[in-house]
Structure 1
Amino acid sequence: MNVHTRNKVLFFIGAGAEMVPGIRWACEMGLTVVAADMNPNAIGFQYADHAEVVSVKDVERTVEAAKRYHHEIGVDGVMTLACDVPLTVAAVADALGLPGLSVAAAQVAQDKLLMKHRLAEKGVPIPKFKEANSYEDAVAACCDIGFPVVIKPIDNSGARGISLVENESALSQAFNWAKKNCFQKETFLVEEYLTGPQISTESLVYDGKIYTTGFADRNYELNHLFAPFFIEDGHTIPSELRAEDQAEIIKVVEKALPALGIDFGVGKGDLVLTPQGPKVLEFAARLSGGRFSTDTVPLATGVHLVKAMIKLSIGETIDPADLEPKYNRGAAQRYFFPKPGRVTSVNGINKANRPEWVNRVEIYVKPEDVIKQVTNHVERAGYVITSGETRAEAVERAEWARSQIDIQTSSV
């Protein structure tokens, strides 16, 4: 039966701003949407048919809520978007007998250390790494790997707690920063620092085949301003890399996904093209955040992976032709990094939004908000997304749109 003519129920995990496109599209496709989020004022609740206030990081309580809805109205599918809770999604699918990733694969996807071990076991190229459970472990790991290294907590996301360690004198501060940003486990990953262009990929695994529909250059041109932290200033499509290099990266992606047991749904990859070839930093078993799957990939290629994932989640078939690029245009995202302090004014949004090729402008701050020095991706102040016939045109337009918005701050 066509998805548009049957009122199936989708349990959508997460209802923040980045989840809104998925919730809205599911409703437009004729589904009844139950959205779950710990924030009672989550914006996604405005678009869903039912709102469930629950921490989606609490696997047991989220499963209980899903079971209740399953008993009351029936639940036909579960998914998330831009929310790094693969274990919650898999546990709901498993408990209700719905299509989904296995719980075992989700456990690996949620733990950076388990992920690295699994990739290494399967011969997927990755940076050298060591586990650290104490400062002494971290010192030993650095001695084994050699500086510079990157240290990170194993169970957080959004670049929280990650920093570059160039020498032993910087290790103590980096270790304490990672420790402060642990979610549940005080276990850390110390890994070799890789040099080279960074790439984001997004692939859908369907009917035994891997479709890599998203491929973007991550923009770290401003990273020197945030050292020792790693702060991405958006991404750009299409990639500047040679076709041969892109093909090699996709080969690594197609080796990594089955190695991690990602045999259903989406795998979002972060890779580096090193002088020795592509290497995997990590994979997420979910649709991407940062407006990659919802905005820039559809703008640049015409592929709507979120809509495909909605269908897959409720057991509908997908036309493989829908996963093939329709065109090759440019799309760019750039972020705002105001001077730290108290926001006194935000001007220029309407002007920046005027051209039709400015596809989205979001500013997260308002007067009286206090802006801290950025240490992770959650702390960025907003972004613009633009499109163009070419990559260069999209980038030029993004820089123009960003330049029109002025966020003034004063010292606190």
Structure 2
Amino acid sequence: MDEDNIDGVVLQLGSGFQPYRQYLLEGAARRRPLWLIDDEAVSWQQQYLAGSSVVVPLEGSGLVLDHATLLATAESVARSHRVLGVFTYDEPSVIAAALIADRLGLPGLTPAGAENCRNKVKSRQALTAAGLPQPLFAVANTAEEAAAAAADIGYPVVVKPRGMAASIGVALVDGPDGIAEAFERADSSSRSGPAEYHGGALIEECIEGPEISVDGAVVAGEYQPFCVAHKQLGPPPYFEEIGHVVDGNDPLLTDPDLRELLRAAHEALGAPNGITHTEIRFGPRGPTVIEVNGRLGGDLIPYLGKLATGIDPGSVLVDVAQGIRPELEPDHKSCVGIRFCYPPEDARIVEITVPEPGAVPGLIEAHPMVPAGATVRLPPRAHIGRHAYVICTADDPATCADRLTAAAELVELKYEALNETEFSGRPW
């Protein structure tokens, strides 16, 4: 792309893991010229970009934590190009993207709205003030405070860090014997993220019931959902997400009560513009807000939505970044799901063989996720320890789930058991 003939660019913070994120970059680039700000030189991203800036973070500070350098870089791009918007799909970059939008006078999450999404304590406080349905909760700074809070709320409880994502450090605790260990895990997990979220944990009521996630676009206060995913969790006590199913005909997309809850939650959090990923559980009291994240969903959920409806999430990202109400009319409606494969124990990968598309009815994709020689650990030693995934399509969610199970059973894994008596790495 000829840099000198660009009529405006949209800034992108971070590009992520290519197998998980390339489809977003491709869709976004079709909408507007992109300028990537990242901490590494471009490689696979080059074909989608009008330009890029490599940011060297301050010593001792990761890219996403070095807001001053990111702001200065964005301002430098704005001096030579008309900047139309800024977006990220990376959880740790949500605050930085909001600060850049605020500094350059662009649409997007406000810094306060981004902080309310990123900081789970502030989320709970804002939703409580608005009287919206959510779990009972308390903030604990010590294991003793966690035990007292859990006793007040009533077991089982969910213990989670204040600012992590992807269910890292999150655990279900059935009784007093497990609360101290769960608190220590959440507290330790929090220390790999931004300093403002270090230490302590949220102790929350466990809402029993099925869980969904909703990717939605907010422009000028108008909330529009465009992808509802039904989540499949691994065995307790951890909340490992092992699969998702997206149905283009899902009645929840147009459910008036759910849409009003989502609208009200975004209003309460101060998020009049942006892309969000909201998690909802359907418990005894009805739909309950688990969390609102200020970015698109992970786990290839938006990709499933694209396959199920034709709505391109990359294009939606760019429209919303510019303050443009996106067109969210599907061009077809089908049911698509993903299933992640985990080794039976902590493992060093020797070989992964995945089935070809069509090996079972509806199987359209199957891919390894780690190379030979990689180590993969299971909770509580690590999270998201996947070695492969399969994607299937069907006419309905039940058939899709059956096909995913059949396809996952065809993934062949050769590995060496790690048999570690101790693991000195961080448990995430």
Considering the TM-score relative to the shorter chain, is it more than 0.5?
yes
Give the aligned partner of residue 257 of structure 1: 266
Give the aligned partner of residue 395 of structure 1: 401
Deviation of 1:53 (Å):
3.8
Deviation of 1:359 (Å):
4.3
Query: Residues of 2 paired with 1:360 and 1:81: CA distance?
Result: 23
Give the aligned partner of residue 272 of structure 1: 281
Query: Residues of 1 paired with 2:282 and 2:75: CA distance?
Result: 44
Counterpart contact for 1:84–1:286, Cα < 8 Å? no
Report the more deviating stretch, 144-153 or 238-247: 238-247
Deviations 1:157-193 (A, max 9, x none): 1111111111111112111111110122213111011
Q: How does 1:3-402 map to 2 (within 5 A)?
A: 7-16=7-16, 17=18, 18-31=20-33, 33-40=34-41, 43-44=44-45, 47-48=48-49, 49-54=51-56, 55-182=63-190, 183=193, 184=195, 185-220=198-233, 223-224=234-235, 227-238=236-247, 246-293=255-302, 295-315=303-323, 317-318=324-325, 322-339=327-344, 340-349=346-355, 351-352=356-357, 358-375=363-380, 378-402=384-408
Query: Residues of 2 paired with 1:236 and 1:156: CA distance?
Result: 24
Query: Residues of 1 paired with 2:375 and 2:25: CA distance?
Result: 31
Query: Residues of 2 paired with 1:400 and 1:177: CA distance?
Result: 34
Which one-letter code corresponds to 1:229 in the other structure? Answer: Y
SS at match of 2:384: helix
Deviations 1:133-172 (A, max 9, x none): 1222112211211111111110111111111111111112
Counterpart contact for 1:232–1:377, Cα < 8 Å? no
Deviation of 1:388 (Å):
2.7
Query: Residues of 1 paired with 2:244 and 2:118: CA distance?
Result: 24
SS at match of 1:213: strand
Query: Residues of 1 paired with 2:7 and 2:399: CA distance?
Result: 42
Task: State the percentage of identical aligned residues.
Answer: 25
Which one-letter code corresponds to 1:363 in the other structure? Answer: P
Query: Residues of 2 paired with 1:196 and 1:78: CA distance?
Result: 36
Which one-letter code corresponds to 1:306 in the other structure? Answer: G
Which one-letter code corresponds to 2:52 in the other structure? Answer: H
Counterpart contact for 2:137–2:153, Cα < 8 Å? yes
Give unpaired runs (5+ residues) of structure 2.
57-62, 419-428
Q: How many residues align?
A: 398
Query: Residues of 1 paired with 2:139 and 2:261: CA distance?
Result: 24
Deviation of 1:234 (Å):
1.5
Deviations 1:322-375 (A, max 9, x none): 2133433101011011122211211135x2477895444332222221221244
Query: Residues of 1 paired with 2:73 and 2:305: CA distance?
Result: 33
Counterpart contact for 1:333–1:384, Cα < 8 Å? yes
Counterpart contact for 2:160–2:201, Cα < 8 Å? yes
Query: Residues of 2 paired with 1:36 and 1:382: CA distance?
Result: 29
Counterpart contact for 1:217–1:239, Cα < 8 Å? no
Deviations 1:365-405 (A, max 9, x none): 22221221244653322322222333344334333332332
Query: Residues of 2 paired with 1:325 and 1:74: CA distance?
Result: 31
Query: Residues of 1 paired with 2:265 and 2:297: CA distance?
Result: 17
Report the more deviating stretch, 175-184 or 73-82: 73-82
Deviations 1:203-222 (A, max 9, x none): 111244221111121112xx
SS at match of 1:181: helix
Gap change, CA 1:91 and 1:148, over 3 Å in 2:
same
Query: Residues of 2 paired with 1:41 and 1:342: CA distance?
Result: 30
Report the more deviating stretch, 56-65 or 370-379: 370-379
Which one-letter code corresponds to 2:119 in the other structure? Answer: D
Gap change, CA 1:27 and 1:212, over 3 Å in 2:
closer
> Normalized against structure 1, the TM-score is what?
0.88
Gap change, CA 1:203 and 1:64, over 3 Å in 2:
same
SS at match of 1:327: coil
Gap change, CA 1:14 and 1:362, over 3 Å in 2:
farther
SS at match of 1:378: coil
Deviation of 1:43 (Å):
4.8
Report the more deviating stretch, 394-403 or 175-184: 394-403
Counterpart contact for 2:228–2:253, Cα < 8 Å? no
Counterpart contact for 1:12–1:79, Cα < 8 Å? yes
Report the more deviating stretch, 390-399 or 117-126: 390-399
Deviation of 1:21 (Å):
2.2
Query: Residues of 1 paired with 2:352 and 2:138: CA distance?
Result: 45
